[in-house]
Structure 1
């Protein structure tokens, strides 16, 4: 059965003779074709008759530059809406083929899968399903990546479960400490364990550094006492004092220059 509705009467007046072959729209069984013409192109729109649905592009056009139709010809297939498909699931309907207008289909996923979307849908007058057809997604997440120098704890990897991460001694956690499995995907990227930076330790030499006070004698006495407690010989103490003396002289000379 072919049904045509041509709305391009005298269209040849609007196009040069070189594109006359575009005036014959590609034939599509069980369809209604509406054709319109403008100064630079010829457009056809396909609509399937009742009980059939369109597969492919609804509108095709030919312009005087290409002299060819811009897309492959669509087809009209049996069924008012496309047959519903649910991978890793099951659907219930009074009749699956062909699909009739206003027909309602319900959906259920197989074990270990979760339904994402509505659990029912209805075939509409415009040949579409509303709400949109759902999909079945895995009901659990893949095990997360175990961080180097660390580990994670969890009861299982099912949807809604949480996993916590911990680092070995001497390492600190960078990232989220806890992740949740949500519809087959983790809520965030797994963290990493990074080596801790140790705080600098003051050496005995630094602890015994010369600290100038108002009473210079007291400062020298304190320094000598500290050096002596750390096993320094008299010669080493003398050498340390000489170094401090030179440092003080340089500071004094610099300050004198600045004052001048």
Structure 2
């Protein structure tokens, strides 16, 4: 197919109000060779140096086509007119010999029109004679501002946009942005949105508004609407009513928390909440609005704001313990604790800061104590301490500790501190259970013992004291010693060896 360009120009840079566009060789018959002809016609505010000045109102210009003659081979030769640059869906597709009605183009914000003439290889006719001129594009009408909304935008011409947002407490229903479209009759791209007060809402922030359904129009019967407010951790919520008018039997319940199982702050009907200020003791409020089948009324407009909560005092840290987690000491937060090796936690490992006017923890601070005896299983390492360590132990004790390692492992003992009443306060260490095991060592006095090693996967420590003198006691570090299962060796751990105290390595005898 042969392509023959015919026109390529823009109206804004030409000093005329009407021009002509004709088919090739018009008024003679155009050639019957395959051809495709394009024209670009554009309209808009003329520059100040041209014939007319831009309209101060911002009006723009479109392209208006008038047909004087038109004769093409029907169904084979076409004239296409579009205004968006695409000929797949043209504004008009013309063929045949009927004179077309005038066409307005450039209507949808780009203010241009494109013309394409296509002919095939067969019959050829007179063609066409078209004049085109500019015409003013009228603006869209100024739209109303929907109730309870704010409109941004002051221009209403083709392509101009307006945006809408709602007053606090209302939800925008519809499109937030509309655009003025082209066309002889100017229209906005979407219907105006509206702002509605819904049944229930969930809001997050430091301030805001809650509205009853349809406010300020009457709410409906037989409704249950749930509202929740969440502010920043460590802050409370203050709630006041700017308007409050409920019918008899319709109630608003306010809870100090995240659901209706939290503490009830109040139940309100009629105008009972006017002049009332509610303060949460946590960072959440839960509101339940219930209406019956009888009368309705205007409803409510509630405003909330956040404030700094009074916190629980720092609970401190147990002696010989530490904090695992500290949530900040405000209502609903928690602090958890654990103990140093060798100590056991007495009390609750977690404290919860309670809601209420007076901030308190739900339990006392736990303590970490060195217990008289206990069972330790599966620990790779740890400590065994005399009761009350580092304070002196008590009289008349009989404490038994059992340390059990994984199967195939043995246990090494390293003495950090040792001081008992010699002969009278005795620590006995058994290799395995007391009933069937071997006594590794019997210890007393102030001398620091050497390291000990078991041959079984458990050891038992038995500490007995009399009624007289007490000393500081002992601190013993234990560790499990495990041989890889693939190693063809045999542990033989000898009690009371002369190994240096810095090592816990066992003797290993390979199989022969």
TM-score by length of 1: 0.34
Which of the pair has more CA radius of gyration? 2
Higher helix share: 1
